[in-house]
């Protein structure tokens, strides 16, 4: 129907129908199609085809999002399309991590393994997904743990060295992993659902890799003085549960001995004394520049709290470290008066005897002890 055109010898004008000269050969533009000629783009579109074509043209699930769905991952609400380069990155990253699982938790375990093991290639694949906002590093990998991806790395730093199935030179250190994750949006202070901060979790591990993780977090800007939902710092909580490694790590980092808190000026030493953690008390007062009889914002010292809870071991450490048995004699109840009240109430004389013997051995006159007791009775 149309004349054959030798494109190597001529160029045809599509708009004017005029010929163009190329060498000695001239070709005239084809005539317009007749009314009986059907052109594909002008064919009538059947009902429903508009929507189908729109889905094909605009559905960003082709094929990258379909692959994301195959891993049970939610589609990022902020993305409606991916460039060819981004699609290539995402598809390669998922392929490196393993075959599709169709289940969010199964995929979470796949990602957690990549983060915890420290295999450089698989870790980089997870980071590529974070870079393209397929995953949020502050969200949990598993619905059962409720721990962020950063916390998964920090909580199990030792697991990365056990049972390696890849060459040692492909291992990426926990500090490098943390630095990379923070650079890609992981919050170094994003807490566990229990309230524990990442730095606290790292120090609680009491391992070399846990300490490495803690140093990386501090370098990345983690705030060791941040209070948890209970209004206390991690040092307060460590003192409450006798976590000696965390206390030592805190001191080694040169952090404040009495960090500020919204809980009425209560100190870590007070909490350790109240819970009768003699080792924590000993560690907190060793080489300390803080006043052992500090009352915070109240009238009670650490020895007051030890007496109140009948914590004999903690009271002994405090006394050996110079705590005053008649602290507060001018403004309120003394530790010795509290011990006598406890003896009268329970019939247990041990705390009162401990404080009295120490006071007399320290040269405190018995009359002054009696005065401190009589002021409160």
**Token reading at 113:** 């393994």
What is the pLDDT at residue 105?
84
When pLDDT is cut at 50, 70 and 90, the band that residue 268 belongs to is: very high
How large is the C-alpha radius of gyration of the chain? 36
Are the CB atoms for 184 and 127 separated by under 8 Å?
Answer: yes
- Provide the pairing of β-strand 20-22 with 25-27: antiparallel
pTM of the model: 0.76
What is the DSSP-derived secondary structure letter of residue 162?
A: S
Is there a domain that residue 153 lies in?
yes
As a whole number, the mean pLDDT across the chain is 81
Are the CB atoms for 234 and 199 separated by under 8 Å?
Answer: yes
Let me know how long the chain is.
377
pLDDT at 4 over 60: no
* Contacting residues for 169 by C-beta, under 8 A, at least 6 apart: none
Is there a domain that residue 99 lies in?
yes
Are the CB atoms for 29 and 18 separated by under 8 Å?
Answer: yes
Strand-pair partners of 27: 20
The domain containing residue 84 runs over which residues?
Answer: 60-223
What is the pLDDT at residue 77?
63
Neighbours of 289 (CB within 10 A): 6
pLDDT at 351 over 70: yes
120: nearest Cα among 200, 174, 53, 76? 174
pLDDT at 14 over 70: no
Is there a domain that residue 357 lies in?
no
pLDDT at 44 over 90: no
Report pLDDT digits (tens) over 84-103.
899 999 999 999 998 888 78
Rounded to whole angstroms, the Cα distance separating 149 from 114 reads: 11
Mean pLDDT score, 101-113: 85
Rounded to whole angstroms, the Cα distance separating 122 from 115 reads: 8
Query: What's the domain count of the chain?
Result: 1
pLDDT at 359 over 80: yes
Strand, helix or coil at 171?
Answer: strand
Place of tokens 């501090």: 218
Separation of first and last alpha carbons in the chain:
121
Rounded to whole angstroms, the Cα distance separating 177 from 169 reads: 15
Strand-pair partners of 22: 25
Helix, strand, coil % in the chain, rounded to nearest 5: 50, 5, 45
Is there a domain that residue 97 lies in?
yes
Rounded to whole angstroms, the Cα distance separating 15 from 12 reads: 9
Is there a domain that residue 340 lies in?
no
Report pLDDT digits (tens) over 194-244.
888 999 999 999 999 999 999 999 999 999 999 988 889 999 999 999 999
Is there a domain that residue 138 lies in?
yes
What is the pLDDT at residue 147?
85
Is there a domain that residue 269 lies in?
no
What is the pLDDT at residue 32?
53
What is the pLDDT at residue 310?
97
Report pLDDT digits (tens) over 332-342.
789 999 999 99
Rounded to whole angstroms, the Cα distance separating 290 from 318 reads: 13
Report pLDDT digits (tens) over 283-333.
999 988 888 998 877 789 999 999 999 999 999 999 999 999 998 866 778
pLDDT at 53 over 60: no
CATH number at residue 191: 1.25.40.20
Encode burial over 181-205: b for 16+ CB neighbours within 10 A, e otherwise.
bbebebbbebbbeeebbbbbbbbbb
**Token reading at 176:** 């490098």
pLDDT greater at residue 2 or residue 201: 201
pLDDT greater at residue 229 or residue 135: 135
Are the CB atoms for 305 and 273 separated by under 8 Å?
Answer: yes
Rounded to whole angstroms, the Cα distance separating 309 from 270 reads: 11
Is there a domain that residue 174 lies in?
yes
When pLDDT is cut at 50, 70 and 90, the band that residue 79 belongs to is: low
| Alpha carbon distances (Å) from 51 to 57, 63, 226 | 10, 18, 53
What is the pLDDT at residue 101?
80
């Amino acid at each position: 129907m149309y004349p054959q055109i030798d494109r190597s010898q001529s160029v045809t004008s599509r708009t004017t129908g005029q010929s163009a000269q190329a060498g000695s050969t001239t070709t005239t533009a084809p005539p317009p199609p007749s009314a009986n000629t059907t052109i594909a783009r002008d064919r009538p579109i059947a009902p429903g085809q508009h929507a189908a074509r729109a889905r094909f043209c605009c559905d960003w699930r082709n094929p990258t999002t379909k692959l994301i769905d195959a891993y049970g991952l939610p589609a990022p609400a902020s993305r409606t399309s991916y460039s060819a380069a981004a699609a290539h990155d995402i598809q390669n990253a998922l392929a490196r991590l393993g075959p599709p699982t169709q289940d969010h938790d199964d995929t979470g375990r796949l990602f957690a393994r990549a983060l915890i093991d420290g295999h450089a290639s698989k870790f980089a694949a997870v980071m590529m997904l974070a870079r393209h906002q397929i995953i949020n590093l502050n969200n949990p990998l598993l619905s059962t743990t409720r721990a962020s991806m950063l916390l998964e790395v920090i909580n199990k730093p030792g697991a990365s060295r056990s049972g390696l199935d890849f060459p040692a030179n492909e291992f990426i250190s926990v500090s490098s992993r943390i630095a990379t994750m923070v650079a890609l949006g992981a919050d170094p202070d994003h807490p566990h659902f229990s309230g524990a901060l990442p730095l606290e979790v790292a120090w609680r591990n009491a391992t070399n890799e846990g300490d490495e993780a803690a140093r990386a977090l501090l370098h990345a800007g983690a705030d060791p003085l941040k209070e948890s939902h209970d209004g206390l710092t991690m040092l307060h909580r460590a003192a409450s549960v006798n976590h000696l490694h965390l206390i030592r790590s805190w001191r080694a980092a040169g952090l404040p001995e009495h960090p500020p808190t919204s809980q009425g000026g209560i100190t870590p030493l007070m909490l350790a004394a109240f819970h009768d953690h003699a080792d924590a008390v000993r560690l907190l007062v060793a080489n300390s520049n803080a006043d052992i009889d500090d009352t915070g914002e109240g009238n009670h010292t650490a020895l007051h709290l030890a007496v109140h809870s009948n914590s004999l071991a903690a009271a002994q450490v405090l006394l050996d470290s110079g705590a005053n048995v008649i602290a507060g004699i001018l403004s309120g109840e003394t530790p010795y008066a509290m011990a006598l009240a406890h003896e009268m109430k329970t019939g247990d004389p041990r705390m009162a005897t401990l404080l009295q013997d120490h006071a007399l051995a320290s040269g405190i006159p018995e009359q002054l002890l009696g005065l401190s007791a009589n002021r409160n009775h």
